[in-house]
Structure 1
Amino acid sequence: MPELPDVEGFRDVLNTCGRGRRVRRVDVRDTGVLRGVTAQRLRREVEGRRLGRPWRHGKVLVVPVDDGPALVWHFGMTGELVCAGADDPPDAHDRVVLALDGERQLRYRD
Structure 2
Amino acid sequence: MHRVPSLFQPSAELVRRGATLALLGYPLENSSVSYGDWQSRELTVIGSLAYNHEDFVGAMQAIAAGRIDVASLHSGTFGLSSLKDILEELDSGRSEHVKVLIDPKREDRT
Give TM-score scaled by structure 1 length.
0.24
Larger radius of gyration: 2
TM-score normalised by the chain length of structure 2: 0.24
**Higher helix fraction: Structure 1 or Structure 2?**
2
Structure with more strand by fraction: 1
